[in-house]
């Protein structure tokens, strides 16, 4: 599925799942359990400006593409004794115009997070003992933008083609996974962007975490 520049999509069950959500996908990403976020996409937009692939707000965690070489920037926020900290982890990995598979994995036991591309870890962040991922009861994930269009700031629009997105409460290996395999790994949301309408992308789990177009 293609996301056009300036036309972001969102997964926010409180607002977009018609009251039918069984387990909110965003509760899986608060740091109370292991998790893996998987997203396979092709970057279509060009330029030197920042372009957001996805952003989990307001407790930020996401992927940006920067500069002419399409370098990868991973961002996440933590909290330690009430003090918030933002991580901006830059990689010199340059995206080309092919599909690439990104995994963000968090281990609760070891308290670290990593980012891999096509099975190769490019960023690792070890948190301190009492440091935790920043939590929010209003978490939502926006695709193709760093904010809601009506807010008018930190938009960082991108144009991308999405092939797969999933969230699972497991620290997965770095191999590719089919829809059927992901459904066995305690996934809270699984999408192939084929099963969709003009305004919604269907979740293959029973949780009804729909991805909706922001209108």
The tens digit of pLDDT for each residue in 125-143 reads 999 999 999 999 899 999 9
Per-residue pLDDT band for 48 (boundaries 50, 70, 90) equals confident
pLDDT for residue 53 = 97
pLDDT for residue 160 = 97
Secondary structure of the chain as H, E, C letters: CEECCCCCEEECHHHHCCCCCCCCHHHHHCCCCCEEEEEEEEECCCCCCCEEEEEEECCCEEEEEECCCCEEEEEEEEEECCEEEEEEEEEEEECCCCCEEEEEEEECCCCEEEEEECCEEEEEEECCCCCEECCCCCCEEEECCCCCHHHCCCCCCCCEEEEEEEEECCCCCCCCCCHHHHCCCCEEEEECCCCECCCEECCCCCCCCCEEECC
Contact 88, 68 (CB under 8 A): no
φ and ψ of 14, to 5 deg: -60, -30
* DSSP three-state, residue 108: coil
Residue located via tokens 């092919």: 98
Residue located via tokens 């949301």: 189
Q: What angle do CA 176, 38, 90 make, to 5 degrees?
A: 110
* DSSP three-state, residue 192: coil
Contact 97, 74 (CB under 8 A): no
pLDDT for residue 28 = 93
pLDDT for residue 69 = 86
Tokens of 12: 């926010």
Instruction: Report the share of the chain in percent with pLDDT over 90.
Output: 88
pLDDT for residue 67 = 84
Report pLDDT digits (tens) over 14-45.
888 888 999 999 999 999 999 999 999 999 99
Report pLDDT digits (tens) over 65-118.
998 889 999 999 999 999 999 999 999 888 999 999 999 999 999 999 999 999
Of 49-53, 67-71, 157-161, least confident by mean pLDDT is 67-71
pLDDT for residue 164 = 98
Residue located via tokens 């629009």: 157
Task: Provide the domain limits for residue 153.
Answer: 2-213
Summary mean pLDDT of the chain: 95
Pairing of strands 160-168, 187-191: antiparallel
All residues at 6 or more sequence positions from 152 whose CB lies less than 8 Å from its CB, including other chains: none
Tokens of 197: 């309408």
CATH of the domain at 165: 2.60.120.200
Count of residues making up the chain: 215
93: burial class by Cβ within 10 Å (0-12, 13-18, 19+)?
middle
Q: What is the mean pLDDT of residues 142-151?
A: 94
- The count of domains in the chain is 1
């Amino acid at each position: 599925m293609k996301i056009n520049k300036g036309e972001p999509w969102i997964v926010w069950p409180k607002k977009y799942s018609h009251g039918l959500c069984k387990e909110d996908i965003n509760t899986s990403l608060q740091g109370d359990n292991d998790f893996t976020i998987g997203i396979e996409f092709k970057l279509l937009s060009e330029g030197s400006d920042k372009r957001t692939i996805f952003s989990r707000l307001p407790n930020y965690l996401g992927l940006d593409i920067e500069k002419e070489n399409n370098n990868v920037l991973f961002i996440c926020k933590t909290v330690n004794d009430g003090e918030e900290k933002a991580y901006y982890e830059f990689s010199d990995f340059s995206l080309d115009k092919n599909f690439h598979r990104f995994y963000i994995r968090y281990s609760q036991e070891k308290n670290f997070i990593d980012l891999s591309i096509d099975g190769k870890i490019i960023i690792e962040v070890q948190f301190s003992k009492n440091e935790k991922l920043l939590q929010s009861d209003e978490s939502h994930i926006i695709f193709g933008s760093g904010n809601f269009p009506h807010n008018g700031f930190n938009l960082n629009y991108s144009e991308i083609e999405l092939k797969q997105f999933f969230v699972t409460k497991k620290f997965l290996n770095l191999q590719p996974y089919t829809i059927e395999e992901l459904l066995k790994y305690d996934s809270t949301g699984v999408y192939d962007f084929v099963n969709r309408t003009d305004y919604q992308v269907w979740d293959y789990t029973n949780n009804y975490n729909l991805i909706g177009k922001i209108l």
